[in-house]
Structure 1
Amino acid sequence: MTKSSSSLSSSSVNGPWSIYKLFFSISLICTLFMSSYLLFNKPVSAPTSILQNTLQDPGFTLKVFVSELPRSYNYGLLQEYWSLPPDNRIRFDPDHVPGLKQNNSNLEFPPYPKNPVTTQNSAEYWLLGDLMTPEHLRNGSIAKRVYDVKEADVVFVPFFSALSCEMQLSIDRRILPMKVMKNLDYKRQKEVIDIVTNSEAWKRSGGRDHIFALSNPMAMWHVKDEIAPAILLVVDFGGWVQIDAKASHGNSNEKIGHTQVSLIKDVIVPYNHLLPALQLSDNQPRHNLLFYKGAKHRQRGGVIRAKLWSMLEHEPGVVMEEGVADETGRQQSIKGMRDSEFCLHPAGDTPTSCRLFDAIQSLCIPVIVSDQIELPFEGIIDYSEFSVFVSSNDALQPKWLVTHLQNISKEQREEYRKNLARVQPMFEYDNGFPGGIGPIDPNGTVNQIWKKIYHKVPMIKEAVTRNRRKPPGTSIPLRCQCT
């Protein structure tokens, strides 16, 4: 007798009770099958993967204490900026036209510069503006400002570090790498560190719960060792692989270690875009396949730019242009991005640039050729749904990139563009209020940054607790926080 017939025979011997159990089992299987079918086949009104936001609980808050820094390191620094002469790095400085700088330098909360080489590095300005907004108006932010550090999840350091760096570059860029007191950026960095690290808030956590916004790749790197334990808001990690000038001649090649900067504790934030947003309803037919406007030559990982340029500049449907940071260059970029299906985004001196966020606002599908790039808000959004990622090796094969883009169907391009339109608000800092003081867009950049910081809080609290139980005179070894 076979095994199957033996089982059947056994059921028959046990009578009606066994038949009941068999019927119950079959019914249970059918019920589970129908539940699974309904669960996984229910209709959806819109794609859900593009915005993977899991923080929708209205009771969810991030409690933020603002470190007590003198005004001269934030809004006072802005007032000083508006009193400077025009920036000699650009042909026309929009911030220094007659009458404008005098008006802005007298405001309590001055506007952030419109100078294109400065305005893209403004994350700290908008974050502080949100925290400075009166509580009854802060109906869009998940951050709640608290005035007792013991109640705080994190401590925000209100230093406009990118502005400090850019001001020194506009005055005398030659001494920016030098640790000398006539380097005003270095001087401010040291003063801020002295104030912050001597505070009770820093001492209680070793700085692990402090936030430094560094939206310029060169911001604060003279004091990188001192701020290493903190949460760093950076546009990418490339700026931390800089020459560290231990002496005034800047001949050191020290690089920051992985124990000091990591996706585990730090947050990637976007540059502020320079081009206006194009609404999907205003999109027009695009006549170019691929567009790039910017510098041809860059250092380190950016050497790929020159190679791509020589390969692509004579390809039909491809536009490669040198960029100039003035209003003429801006208008040319607007036209070029809006008239092109794809916008090339090769690595520069650092893995990313403002160009990526200009492409998003222009609904021009980004083509990212940057093997070491880290991107803002990953885990909340999926960049592969509105961007094309290409390895450097593939991009440098003759004809490969153009052929690859040509083979992307019209339907797929339209889907990319719809997804670009969905994420545009997530890369918008400006809240539309003078001085940046006013309610923010719940879907805007500032709130997305707070959300990413919120995700770090459990890890931060664990690290602080572990440090407290450490016996005096011992040290915790540095470990690579590789990702």
Structure 2
Amino acid sequence: MPMILNNNNNGTSLFSVPTLFLLFILLSIFSFSFFFSFSSSISHISSFSLQSSSSSSSSINVYVADLPRSLNYNLLHRYWSLNSDSRLSTDPDSEIRSTHISKTLDFPPYPENPLIKQYSAEYWIMGDLMTPPDLRTGSFSKRVFDARDADVVFVPFFATLSAELQLGMAKGVFRKKVGNDDYLRQREVMDFVKNTQAWNRSGGRDHVFVLTDPVAMWHVKDEIAPAVLLVVDFGGWYRQDSKSSNCSSPEMMIQHTQVSVLKDVIVPYTHLLPRLRLSENQERHTLLYFKGAKHRHRGGLVREKLWDLLINEPGVIMEEGFPNVTGREQSIRGMRTSEFCLHPAGDTPTSCRLFDAIQSLCIPVIVSDDIELPFEGMVDYSEFSVFVAVGDALKPSWLVNHLKSFSKVKIDKFRQNMARVQPIFVYDNGHPGGIGPIPLDGAVNHIWKKVHQKLPMIKEAIIREKRKPPDVLVPRRCHCT
């Protein structure tokens, strides 16, 4: 009769052969059953997760705050009622003004004035949301009409147009409150939204403001800091006004702790030059091209130093000016006949020049250590741009020699990659007044996809705020990287 245990001379216990075989069979059956059950569960969970991920990422629910038209489309009527913009030597909108059509339309066109057009994201985002639902089948944002059903609340204030109207009509009072129509509009917006249940539920954290002009909503930035801000970069937020009593006045200080790549979204400037398709590209004879103002402030001081280094370099063209009516054709020609386009920091780390270069298939050379770029994670800029540290760029002849080191194969690959991403940076949907279906692969949809990525963080911030004891203030901390 087999023994289950047998004590041998070494004091160890051994299984007999028949017993081992029986145990092996039982363990095999159990392991197979467990593996099959576990695999089925994992498969079910994975399938559920994929389905949930797919459904949750198919759209974002957006409620549009019920602001009066005086804060958006009527600002356009106000712009078109002006004779011209005194800041420009020639008026690119004179032809539209002469027709008087813009004054009779419910949804007037956005200005061609380059000082304003470069910031037109507010117009195109609003136009998409105003489009009838049956035409919005390609929009990533789904408009809902009850704030309780919304993921985010869009605040339809044309903040840039409001600021630019003030700057064009009475720049001297822009930083003051008395006599400043832009300030009054900012105050009207904030008084309205802060008295809504939606704002009180979230403290404004799920509200979305478009602030493409760095000075938009300048007087109330502290109040909107918890919200999701659509900005072209953080340059305007890092600034402290040196004229304000040694920066001691709280009204004149803008704390960089109010913005972050974690909660806010970097959006593209609107390009001012037309798109050049890869099939239309011609031979390029200039190595490096730049058109813009030589003298800038703050971080833009590097531009003046680069100018002095590059102005006499063979194969480099440095031109003073802005792509307005008189300089536009010059800019088109310069960017389309150059291999590389210089993009140094200006008053802020970026400008619409970058997006003009992309639409012109001119490889951007980015010299701006603090730059933030739109749609990072969706777009890999290193596949079509050259990034250069400021310290290297300011070494004599370094930049030119670096650009000359790129092979034709590498340059062609840069340009092919750039052609693929050109549509991502385009706002215009081709419809009058901006009301109509947007391109699936355009800028507006990509903006809402980036906002959608912020939703878990928004919800977490709202929940964390609820558990704070009354009257406890938690200082803002910047988590910018």
TM-score of Structure 1 vs Structure 2, range by shorter chain? 0.7 to 0.9
Q: How does 1:206-217 map to 2 (within 5 A)?
A: 206-217=203-214
In the other structure, the counterpart of 1:342 is 340
In structure 2, the partner of 1:183 is 180
Letter in 2 for 1:107: L
Contact 1:258–1:481, Cα closer than 8 Å, also in 2: no
Q: Which of 156, 159, 180 matches 2:157? A: 159
Unmatched 5+ stretches in structure 1: 1-13, 18-54
Q: Which residue of 2 aligns with 1:453?
A: 451
The answer to whether the 8 A contact 1:61-1:144 is kept is yes
- SS of equivalent to 1:86: coil
SS of structure 1 residue aligned to 2:95: coil
**Equivalent of 1:266 in 254, 264, 270:** 264
Superposition deviation, residue 469 in structure 1:
2.7
Q: Which residue of 2 aligns with 1:150?
A: 148
Q: Does 1:230 align with 2:209?
A: no
Q: 2:124 is matched with which residue: 106, 123, 126? A: 126
- Give 1:191 shift: 1.2
Q: For residue 369 of structure 2, what is the aligned residue in structure 1?
A: 371
Which segment drifts farther, 312-321 or 95-104? 95-104
Please show how residues 274-289 of structure 1 align to structure 2 within 5 Å: 274-289=272-287
State TM-score, norm by structure 2: 0.86
Which residue of the partner structure matches residue 90 of structure 2? 92
Contact 1:221/1:240, CA 8 A, preserved across alignment: no
Aligned residues: 436
Cα deviation code 1:224-247 (max 9, x no counterpart):
110011000000000113345998
CA distance in structure 2 between the aligned counterparts of 1:445 and 1:401, rounded to whole angstroms: 31
Q: Deviations over 1:462-482 (max 9, x none)?
A: 111222233323333433323
Counterpart in the other structure of 1:6: none
CA contact (8 A) 1:74 1:160 kept: yes
Q: CA deviation digits over 1:17-48, x for unaligned, max 9?
A: 9xxxxxxxxxxxxxxxxxxxxxxxxxxxxxxx
* 8 A contact 2:429–2:436 mirrored in 1: yes
Structure 1 residues 138, 229: closer, same or farther in 2, change over 3 A?
Answer: same
Task: Find the aligned partners of 1:164 and 1:252 in 2 and give their Cα distance.
Answer: 24
Aligned CA-pair RMSD: 2.6
Counterpart residue number, 2:468: 470
Q: Per-residue displacement from partner, 1:429-454 (whole Å, max 9, x unpaired)? A: 00000111111111100000000000
Shift of 1:335: 0.1
1:357 maps to which residue? 355
**Separation (CA, whole Å) in 2 of partners of 1:225 and 1:98:** 38
Q: Which amino acid aligns with 2:431?
A: F
Which has the higher Rg, Structure 1 or Structure 2?
2
Q: Deviations over 1:268-307 (max 9, x none)?
A: 0010000000000000000000000000000001011111
Between 1:404-413 and 1:194-203, the stretch displaced more is: 194-203
In 2, Cα distance between equivalents of 1:476 and 1:324: 44
Partner of 2:189: 192
Q: Aligned equivalents of 2:284 and 2:310: distance in 1?
A: 19
Give the distance between the partners of 2:248 and 2:103, measured in 1 at CA: 38
In structure 2, relative to structure 1, the CA distance for the partners of 1:259 and 1:281 (3 Å cut) is: same
Q: Residues 61-119 of structure 1, C-alpha deviation per residue, up to 9 Å, x if partnerless? A: 10000011001000111111110120011111121337546210221011110011110
Question: What is the 5 A alignment of 1:31-42?
Answer: none
CA deviations 1:177-203 (Å, max 9, x no partner) are 2222x1111111111111111111111
Instruction: Report how far residue 333 of structure 1 moved.
Output: 0.3
Give the 3 Å change call, closer, same or farther, for CA 247–79 of structure 1 in structure 2.
Answer: farther
Structure 2 match to 1:420: 418
Identity %: 63
Taking structure 1 as reference, are residues 248 and 92 closer, same or farther at Cα in structure 2, changes over 3 Å only? farther
